Amino acid sequence: MRGPSVYLLHLEPSINAFAAGFSANTAVIGVTRGCLEHLNRDELQGVIGHEFSHILNGDMGLNLRLVALLHGILFIYQTGLLIVYFRSDSGDDNEDNKDQSLWVFGLALMAIGVLGLICGRLIKAAVSRQREFLADASAVQFTRNSEGISGALEKLQRMGSHLNSSGAEAASHMFFGNALQLSFWEGLFATHPPLTERIRSIRGLKPGDPMPSAVSNEMHSHESLAMGFAGNTTEPLAENVVAQVGTVAPKHFADAQELLSSLPKSLRLSVHNQQSAMAIVFALVLDRTNTQMRDRQIAWLRQVQPSDLVEKTLSLSSEINLLDSGIRLPLLDLTVPALRQGSPRDCQRLCICVQGLITAGAVSMWEFVFQLVLWHRLQPCFAPPSPQTVQFTSIEQIWSDCILLLSALAQVGQSQPETVAYAFRSGVFRLPGIGQHEAPQAPIACNFADVKKSIDRLCLASPKLKQAIVDACAHTVLVDRQVSPNQANLLRGIAMTLDCPIPPFLTKAAIR
């Protein structure tokens, strides 16, 4: 999953934040000016971890649906009000029964709208409160520091979280704290639990237990951090990989820092500039082994891109070719924020150019995965983001697509027929409802076009099915605990395209 864009609400002095978007790939996070002025580093990390939970747990889509539902109910009330207003403003005392019935119809719409709005807000409050508890717990899991998020809540309790914007009411349930100043009766519709309950829940306290002192809080914070960073390295078992989907742990931050430190300084600086990021993308596509193919790609690139960009590509290519194969896909991900700074036309030109470089010869597994991930990451730039519709809720609807995908994974990096068949069956038997389907004993033949079509269909499956698919894919690849670079890239590319982010899970010893 790419890092979400971050926006500052500079006119809001209170402490608050929100996450919004239709999917993890289009998510954004907003923080108020008060967060930057009043929170320390640990507390701000806790708040951002809270918002990341809303992204990874799918709360953003639920929140947006609640906004649409309440607006639809409000529209019913407003329609009834409009009818009554025009009926009362007519000034004609000789209305017939038909006009009287129109007036009654308007009152009925108003009553339905008010009743629906009350019920809708109660539902919104009940759902939002439970998701806030989950997000608080996830923030502790992500940061391994319960005092960060609890300290932010304590400051929020003292300084307030109410927003000045007139549009805060419609999106109040999306914020870190209560965005509205509520009276006693309005508290029944509060979208957030009381701050005291949230703090006690984070610290594991029961009602009536005294709050720990600041000294004990600090000791608990250091202990939590030590526990978070002291884990042992686990083997690349499929169960471990699937359990990490959508999670962030301190070890993953350490792995990310190690990865960044392994990059040459020129590459670390280049990922933040749009033109240099484009050069990195082109350099990643250039063939590393076939000199003739590489020469054809460079010749074609000179025809469609400025000479300075081509020279930059060749300069960075020499450094990229020295990198470990496992770093190439994360390097592509690092360029996405800079690439998205361009216009939709720029992104389309980039994708067309990449397509031309790839089709200059036979498409390799790396090029297929590269194009798959790049297209997915830049898709929000091509058209306005829209809600991702779930079309498949049962495994029967996508069974053939799952079989084809597992067939591709089993055949990548394997040479012995019995090993391929064993890896394929290991993945198939992880699919739900396996007893109700007749699964082939060996993988079926497939090509890149077939795999791409199946992945596009699987993107429309429900989140629960996507999790089962990633689980089956992981068991196919990791059944022998030895993973080829092509298998690792394809597995990660599939997970990224299905919006099921997987933290780094392979050591150099695991990749053969």
The residues carrying an active-site annotation are: 51
Place of tokens 């007139």: 166
How far apart are the C-alpha atoms of 281 and 354, rounded to whole Å? Answer: 8
How far apart are the C-alpha atoms of 177 and 368, rounded to whole Å? Answer: 44
Residue 315's identity, in one-letter code, is: S
How far apart are the C-alpha atoms of 349 and 281, rounded to whole Å? Answer: 13
CB 241 within 8 A of CB 474: yes
How far does the chain reach from its first CA to its final CA, in angstroms?
26
How far apart are the C-alpha atoms of 158 and 195, rounded to whole Å? Answer: 10
How far apart are the C-alpha atoms of 302 and 306, rounded to whole Å? Answer: 7
Closest CA to 195 of 221, 214, 177: 177
Token pair for 81:
């009000």
- Compute the 3-state secondary structure of the chain and give helix, strand, coil in percent, each to the nearest 5: 65, 5, 30
Token pair for 419:
């090993």
How far apart are the C-alpha atoms of 201 and 44, rounded to whole Å? Answer: 19
Order of strands across the sheet with 5-9? 5-9, 28-32, 17-20
Element (H, E) at 18: strand 17-20
How far apart are the C-alpha atoms of 49 and 291, rounded to whole Å? Answer: 46
CB 398 within 8 A of CB 392: yes
Kindly give, in sequence order, each residue whose CB lies less than 8 Å from that of residue 136, ignoring residues fewer than 6 positions away. Answer: 50, 149, 198, 201, 202
Residue 394's identity, in one-letter code, is: S
CB atoms within 10 A of CB 441: 8
How far apart are the C-alpha atoms of 68 and 62, rounded to whole Å? Answer: 10
Token pair for 87:
């009926």
Could you give phi then psi for residue 8, rounded to 5 degrees?
-105, 125
How far apart are the C-alpha atoms of 408 and 199, rounded to whole Å? Answer: 48
- In angstroms and rounded to an integer, the radius of gyration of the C-alpha atoms of the chain is 27
